[in-house]
Amino acid sequence: MKKSFYVLLLLILSGCGIYSTSGTGRAGGGTIAVPLFENSTVEFGINEVLTDTLIVALVKEASLKVVDEDQADLVVRGRVTSVREEPFTYGQTQTDQNRIIVTLDVSCYDTKKGRTVWEEKGLSGYGIYRAGGRQEEERNAGIHAAFAMLVKDIVDRTAVGGW
C-alpha cells in the first residue's frame, strides 16, 4: 500500500515538472526578435519608443532573450497606424482631460513552426492626460500610459500564444 502511494505521488509530481501555459510550448527562456515597428503617423519617433518599451517588457516579464531575426524562435512585428486625441472630461467651460489613443497592427510569428502565432489589426491602448498646464509633458505621460496598455497586451499574447 505504501509503495503504491509513493508511485502515485511520483507520477503526479513528475507530470507537473515541466509545465508551461505558453501557446508556443516554451516556458520562458526562448528567443525573440522585435524589428523596429513601422510608423504610419505624423508622430515622429513614436515607433522607436514603443519598440524599445516592448523589448524591455518581453525580456523582463516573459523571460525571452532578444536576438537578431535570423536567430529568433519568435518575431513580433508591428506598425503604429494611428494616434488620435479626444476630449475625455469637461469642466464648466473647457476640457479638463484628454484621451490619447494609439492604435497598432501587430503580429507574432513562430519561425520554427513557420506559422503566425497571433495577429491583431487595430490593437489600441489609451492614456488620459490633463488638458492645459505643461501640455507636452502631460501628453507624453498619456502616450506612455497608452504604450503600457499595448505592451502588456502584446506580452500577454506572446507569452501564452494568443489564447
The number of beta carbons lying within 10 Å of the beta carbon of residue 11 is 9
Give pLDDT tens digits for 56-82. Answer: 999 998 889 999 999 999 999 999 999
Provide the 3-class DSSP secondary structure of residue 147: helix
Residue 131's pLDDT is: 82
Residue 10's pLDDT is: 36
Residue 16's pLDDT is: 39
**Domain extent listing, the chain:** 2-159
Q: Which residues of the chain have pLDDT under 50?
A: 2-27, 162-163
Model pTM above 0.85: no
Please tell me the distance from the alpha carbon of residue 87 to that of residue 92, in angstroms, as a whole number. 13
What's the CATH number for 2-159? 3.40.50.10610
Residue 7's pLDDT is: 37
The number of beta carbons lying within 10 Å of the beta carbon of residue 33 is 20
Please tell me the distance from the alpha carbon of residue 74 to that of residue 98, in angstroms, as a whole number. 36
Provide the 3-class DSSP secondary structure of residue 145: helix
Please tell me the distance from the alpha carbon of residue 154 to that of residue 57, in angstroms, as a whole number. 9
